[in-house]
Amino acid sequence: MNKIGLILIAVGLLTIAIITSVVVVLKPKTNNTHIDIINDTCPYCNGSTSQLGELCTDSEVKSFHQYAVSTDSNVCAKTGRSIMDEGGNAVDAGIAVLLCMGVTIPESMGLGGGSLIVFYNKTSNNATFVDAREVAPIASSRDMFNSTKSDAEFSNSALGLLSIATPGELAGYWHMFNKYGSKKITWKRLFRDAINFAKNGFPVGRHLEEAISQKRDFIMAYNNLKNVYYNQKTDDFYKHGEILKQPKLAETLTNLSLAKDAKKYFYEELSTKIIEDLQNNTDFPNQKPILTVTDFHGYIVDEKPAYSFNIKDDIKLLTARLPGSGILLSYILKIMLHPKFHHLYPDAKENFNDSVLFYHRLMESYKFAYAKRMYLGDDNYDDCHNITDKITTDKFIEKIVNKIDDKTTHPSKSGFYENDKFQKMDHGTAHVSVLDKHGNAFAASTTVNLYFGSKVMSPSTGLILNNQMDDFNTGKTNAFDLPPSHSNTIHPGKRPLSSMSPSVFIDKTGVRLIIGASGGSKITTAVALVSLRHLWMDDDIKLAIDSARLHHQLYPDHIENENCFPKNILASLEEKNHIIKQIEEGDRGAIVMAVSRSKNGTIRANSDWRKDGTIDGL
């Protein structure tokens, strides 16, 4: 595609954004309450504004006694339940759900992307972290995007052949299945629903419809995408409820399901087809792919013990290591649960001043966490241990807690938060949480990065390829005049930093909460707040997920508030010198998927109303 074509795409995207800002309002699904942001009506519980912004939507929540699944796909929770009905464990069910999600929410994830997985084994009482994140190609270099003029979605790091990193998704599934699967379910069985939905079609969910609408100019510009997401029968883009089929993807999934060694098939035989497709791609005539079959051949899943942190009240957090953001999740929780802060929580729901103080301290904990994010990356390449070994120690937490000023916040560039660099923020993602009857937990977050990844589809396989190279830092100073962090720079074989935080909380009785989210840089803060509200503020899991949220990532220097967040709290935060900005129209924020288990064994599952996910179980 020439420069004129790219300019036309950019103009088209701007037009769509302007139209969307006028007509699209993100609204909780409710049975009897219509949210009208202009008229300032929201589905507050019991019809009145709560101090903590509780919302009561009609997202499904159920109680189970043996096992449960929560996913952000509109049709895939049943897939996980059926696997466990047949004797499979959380790993079997989780992989089957992920395969299904790759078909039904291809805008967010798929075999052309990568994932981070935390698996807790109840019998051994141990958790493992499996890193199947994408890897920078051998031919990549630190300065390869320095000449790119924009960090927008149509820059070379985010769009086209150069933005693609080596996918890790299938390797992660194969590794987990062979090492931790129940051995009662065959590899082929895991693919059944995914193949069926790809071959015979599935009803398009609202999130996929919105993603197609948002990226319509890209889809029209690139024939391989248009052939799938433009409905020839209606002569229009696919809409909610219409049946979408993906025959090439069905063929790929079928072949993978029958392979004796699926990893070898994908990374050797299938990779040859993918690379040929990239080399023959005509949509990006000014780019030559740097990804090669050698990159595929050399892909290795990285498994390590999950991070394990004692948080409070005998509750332990088992979470993703770097390049995930579990370390920052722990950092936030330890600050907020410090004895100096934790005492006010019982009154925070009823006492206005305590509510304001809770959110002020929460925003400060977010800012301190994202300041430390600036120095993190792939710890196989970046020396991050001086940060990770320090920030969760009691001594360091005490220092930060004492530093937080209850009367005021501070400018991000003031140096107060101990940062002098910036870090690239990530996007997108999908998540599944699974609890099986044995008490095992599976939490997996997965992504192709931006909607439809690189916008490059392999026509011979039906796979959308990621644009994960955009998650690395380039060598450029950012819009806030901060130099880039020396960590998370591009290097062959390296994995980019991610906000993904798949996590499992346990106590002496076993699993208490399996949680994760989609939503790019908002993932870590959302998982932290929902976990706080459910485990330490006595909110039911649905209420904890439903309720309006705030987000701060240090840069830009403002709080993002969801539409229904109480305005009196926001006004009081402004008095503490916080800058408030309402979340952009159409931005869903973070989408949280969780399965909780009480001390008496009752299981509850909920999928965030902000996306059309589903739950199931027994």
Which H or E element spans position 525?
helix 523-536
- Token duo for residue 297: 């051949």
What is the number of other CB atoms lying within 10 angstroms of the CB of residue 480? Answer: 12
DSSP sequence for 450-476: STTTTSEEETTTTEEEP-GGGGSB-SS
Strand 307-312 relative to strand 315-319, pairing:
antiparallel
- Token duo for residue 49: 């504004």
The closest of 59, 226, 95 to 172, measured between CA atoms, is 95
Q: How far apart are the two ends of the chain, measured CA to CA in Å?
A: 51
Q: What are phi and psi of 451, to 5 degrees?
A: -50, 125
Place of tokens 């408030």: 580
Which H or E element spans position 125?
none
Q: What is the DSSP letter of 556?
A: S
- The verdict on whether residue 308 carries a ligand-binding annotation is no
Tell me which of 57, 429, 474, 614 is the catalytic residue: 429
Q: What is the DSSP letter of 269?
A: I
From residue 218, alpha-carbon distances to 8, 226, 276, 365, 452 in Å are 10, 9, 22, 38, 10
Is the dihedral angle over the CA atoms 331, 334, 338, 341 positive or is it negative?
Answer: positive
Task: Kindly report each contact of residues 234-237 with a partner whose C-beta sits within 8 Å and lies 24 or more positions away, as own/partner.
Answer: 237/212, 237/213
Q: What are phi and psi of 549, to 5 degrees?
A: -125, 160
Interacting residues of 537 by C-beta distance below 8 A, sequence separation 6+:
345, 348, 349, 544
- Token duo for residue 260: 């004796």
* Cα–Cα distance, 504 to 445 (Å, whole number): 13
- The verdict on whether residue 460 carries a ligand-binding annotation is no
Side chain identity at residue 562, one-letter code: E
The closest of 49, 163, 133 to 320, measured between CA atoms, is 133
Q: What is the DSSP letter of 481?
A: S
The closest of 463, 414, 411, 465 to 161, measured between CA atoms, is 465
- The verdict on whether residue 20 carries a ligand-binding annotation is no
* Cα–Cα distance, 177 to 407 (Å, whole number): 52
CB burial class (10 A; 0-12, 13-18, 19+) of residue 408? exposed
How many alpha carbons lie under 13 Å from residue 439 in its C-beta half-sphere? Answer: 18
How many alpha carbons lie under 13 Å from residue 250 in its C-beta half-sphere? Answer: 15
- The verdict on whether residue 448 carries a ligand-binding annotation is yes
Decide if 409 contacts 559 (C-beta within 8 A): no
* Cα–Cα distance, 419 to 261 (Å, whole number): 47
* Cα–Cα distance, 419 to 412 (Å, whole number): 9
- The verdict on whether residue 477 carries a ligand-binding annotation is no
β-bridge mates for residue 260, sequence order: none
Place of tokens 């699967």: 181
461 tagged catalytic: no
What is the number of other CB atoms lying within 10 angstroms of the CB of residue 593? Answer: 33
- The verdict on whether residue 22 carries a ligand-binding annotation is no
Q: Which residue numbers are catalytic? A: 429
Q: Give binding residues for L-glutamate as ranges.
A: 133, 447-449, 471, 498-499, 520
Q: Give binding residues as ranges.
A: 133, 447-449, 471, 498-499, 520
